[in-house]
Structure 1
Amino acid sequence: MMLDTETTNQRQTSEQEHSDDFDPYTCTLSPGMKIVAKEELHEDDNIRRQALKQFREWISKHPSIKKCRTDSLFLLRFLRTKKFSVPDACEMLERYLTIRQLFPQWFSKLDVTDPTISEIFDNGYLVPLPERDDNGRQIILSIAKNFDPYKYTSVQMARVHSLICEGLLDDEQSQVAGYVYINDESGINMGFASLWSLSDLRSMVKCIQNSTPMRHKETHFVNIPQFANRIIELGVSLLSDKLKGRITVHKSIDELKEKIKPEILPKEYGGTIPLDDIIKDFKLKLLQKRAAILSLDDMCIEINKDSNNSLVKGLKDIDGGLVGSFRKLEVD
């Protein structure tokens, strides 16, 4: 009898410890955004609860995942991106964990206090805007002239993108509503033509569209110089048909404003808040999230040349920057 009691207590303790690993979730979505989540993502309280439970069970039993975040906000990144298809969310998580290890130069040690990353961000190359569009979407503005391709590398550019994305991904409204990208190419120069190798560009595009848990809703290009058309076309050609269909090219800022409300944009583009103020405010948010973003490096998925990982199946002919036996990856 004493043994049974002891066993029961151990089981209860184990269950309590297991339960404490999972944060109590409180939905922060507005009533309107809950409707969007239901209509577009099939999300409600019951579906979300069941999906989170199934997702956590899958992670706990995965033979290659050695450590992974299992809090609700992290897992909802993937579930919402994949409209609560648990198998698809599981596959995307595998890919996400894998690219972090296959391409550490792009996705690991993302530190806002790193001098180069901090400098690129302060220059205003890539800035999430504080005001959302009418659909509640997060807008991310890229200004080509604020990135010097003769001073910085494609790796440093990618790291800034990765840092900013990680700073945004736990936001519930953005998980549901998605993201809009505005790319002002007026300052692009010939240095951008040789910034990325074709191999790296292909790898990055695959990472963005297959492995990053973001709902990419719209992409706007504006002020593309004639000589840069081929550069942009090359990048766009690597995208899926779905993402290609969400791209709009504008000849001018005024034309862009027919699609994007001017007041959303920085003061320099017709809005009200100066770009410098937007940069400073978001940098403070990144500093507050610094420890959490760096702790992502603790996650681990075991990879070897015989891995059955879905990302490994999907990537082809990726040269350089790979770990372990992944010196060259060629998959049919």
Structure 2
Amino acid sequence: MSESKSPSTPAPSSPFVLFDESNTPFLILSKDFWLRFDFEEFNDSESIIKAREELRERPKVIANSLKVLRQFLGNEPKLIIPIHDDTFLIRFLRPQKYYAESAFRLIKEYFTAKANADFFLDDISLHSLKQAFVTGVVQVLPERDQNGRRIICLEIGGKWNCTEMSPMELFQATHALATLCSLEPHTQLNGVVYIINCEGQSFAQLSQFTPKLVKDMFDYWQKYSPMRTKSIVIINNMIIFAILFKIIKPFLSPKWGSRIHFLGGNIKELHAQIDAECLPARLGGTCDYEYDGAAFFEFIRYYQTEFDVLNSYGYEENN
């Protein structure tokens, strides 16, 4: 769960962003807490056993699923993706428990949505999303939860100036962080949880969440995201937010409806789902660090190259 011990032999880059011996950037949040994305394949016995039990991940299943998925993708000549890259395809196979047909459907839906410029999956530019990260409206927390899941936090109350940052930019920034997390094998296995904090939210902010926008949001999590989204926890929300959700709920599967939790100000219930030792003090947790948005943006901008590569994939445009 904890990833707070700093890597050895760091090379300085800025007061907050360092590089380890493998030239991987990491962000210093305090003397005890740091953040780093880990794209290395897991090889610990606990993860291997969990992958086998929960995802059917065995050598023969992997090989057969990759073979069948490539056969399906061969019938999509206008879809430009690295079809021979096992790592890329496994990113879509793991959340579908290695069922090739389901993974193929996910890939098609993901890149069809990506081709829609009015949706969240359009090309990712960290520069254009800078405000969302610098202001701390969209964050990934340094600690995984007690189940090894990444925690992504959206601050859509007092931190969010909705006159300067549109809901589209907010969710594009969320998608950017989710994309980085989805490249981590440990996160592919354990999944991600979202905490949406509405503390200090005004009616002007709430009015930004039209039924269509909320539906698009949940469509992303339910249909298009190559991620095991395990839970979406909404705290300090107005009652009307839960009422708005009821309009959208019929469009969700029963499984997805059960993963969305409106807790209001019940922090004890939040801690019943996510251990307090995984959370910062502002969420009632015990992690002692201050989240510096400017430092976080300095850290995340090192990943623009990865986004540029991912941005190049998709369906060819019709001439």
Q: Same fold (TM over 0.5)?
A: yes
2:60 matched to 1:46? yes
Would you say how many aligned residue pairs link Structure 1 and Structure 2? 278
Residue equivalent to 2:132: 120
For 1:81, which of 95, 119, 122 is the aligned residue? 95
Query: Aligned partners of 1:69, 1:285: CA distance in 2, in Å?
Result: 30
Looking at structure 2, the residues matched to 173 and 50 of structure 1 have their Cα atoms a distance apart, in angstroms, of 22
Superposition deviation, residue 173 in structure 1: 0.8
1:252 pairs with 2:266:
yes
* Superposed counterparts of 1:143-182, under 5 Å: 143-145=155-157, 146-182=159-195
* CA spacing shift, 1:281–1:31, aligned 2, 3 Å: farther
Which amino acid is the alignment partner of residue 28 of structure 1? F
> RMSD of aligned C-alpha atoms?
2.6
- After TM superposition, the structure 1 stretch with the greater mean CA deviation from structure 2, 255-264 or 94-103, is 255-264
- Per-residue CA deviations over 1:110-139 (Å, capped at 9, x if unaligned) read 12222xx11111211121111112211111
1:96 and 2:115 are equivalent in the alignment: no
Letter in 2 for 1:121: F
Asked whether 1:242 is paired with 2:255, we answer yes
Secondary structure class of the residue paired with 1:88 = helix
The 2-side partners of 1:26 and 1:50 are apart by 23
Bigger shift: residues 96-105 or 118-127: 96-105
Q: Report the CA distance shift for 1:70/1:211 in structure 2 as closer, same or farther (over 3 A).
A: farther
Residue 28 of structure 1 corresponds to which residue in structure 2? 42
Task: Report the equivalent of 1:11.
Answer: none
Matched residues in 2 for 1:193 and 1:175: separation?
A: 32
The aligned residue for residue 228 of structure 1 is: 241
Among 262, 276, 282, the residue aligned to 2:291: 276
Question: AA paired with 1:272?
Answer: C
The answer on whether the counterparts of 2:221 and 2:229 sit within 8 Å (CA) in structure 1 is no
Question: Residue 297 of structure 1 corresponds to which residue in structure 2?
Answer: 311
- Of 188, 197, 218, 1:205 maps to 218
2:73 touches 2:83 (CA, 8 Å); kept in 1? Answer: no
For 2:65, the aligned partner's letter is A
TM-score w.r.t. the length of structure 2 is 0.78
Q: Give the superposition deviation at 1:303.
A: 7.0
Instruction: Output the CA distance in 1 between the equivalents of 2:216 and 2:206.
Output: 17
Conserved 8 A contact 2:113-2:119: no
Q: What SS does structure 2 have at the residue aligned with 1:255?
A: helix
5+ residue gaps in structure 1? 1-24, 305-323, 325-332
Going from structure 1 to structure 2, the CA distance change for 1:271 and 1:38 (only over 3 Å counts) comes to same
Contact preservation (8 Å) 1:266, 1:274: yes
- Could you say if the C-alpha distance between residues 73 and 271 of structure 1 is closer, same or farther in structure 2, counting changes exceeding 3 Å? farther
Whole-angstrom CA distance in 1 between matches of 2:215 and 2:271: 31
C-alpha contact 1:186 1:222 (8 A) present in aligned 2: yes
Greater alpha carbon shift after TM alignment, 245-254 vs 59-68? 59-68
SS of the counterpart of 2:269?
helix
The structure that has the greater radius of gyration is: 1
Matched residues in 1 for 2:176 and 2:199: separation? 24
What's the secondary structure of 2:194's corresponding residue?
strand
Distance 1:79 1:285 in 2: 29
Deviation of 1:242 after TM superposition, in Å, equals 0.8
The answer to which structure has the higher helix fraction is: 1
For 2:195, give the aligned amino acid: I
Partners of 1:54 and 1:144 in 2: how far apart? 42
Structure 1 equivalent of residue 146 of structure 2: 134
Counterpart of 1:255, as a letter, is E
Counterpart code for 1:82: Q
Helix, strand or coil for the counterpart of 2:237?
Answer: coil
Cα distance per residue 1:242-281 (max 9 Å; x no partner): 111122332322332233211211232333243424x466
Is 2:201 the partner of 1:188? yes
Determine the C-alpha separation between the residues in 2 that align with 1:69 and 1:193.
42
Quick one: which amino acid aligns to residue 302 of structure 2? Q
The more displaced of 57-66 and 164-173 is 57-66
**Offset at residue 54 of structure 1 (A):** 3.0
* Equivalent in the alignment of 2:21: none
| Structure 1 residues 206 and 272: alpha-carbon distance in aligned structure 2, compared to 1, 3 A threshold | closer
Partners of 2:233 and 2:93 lie apart in 1 by 26
State the 1:232 CA deviation.
Answer: 4.1
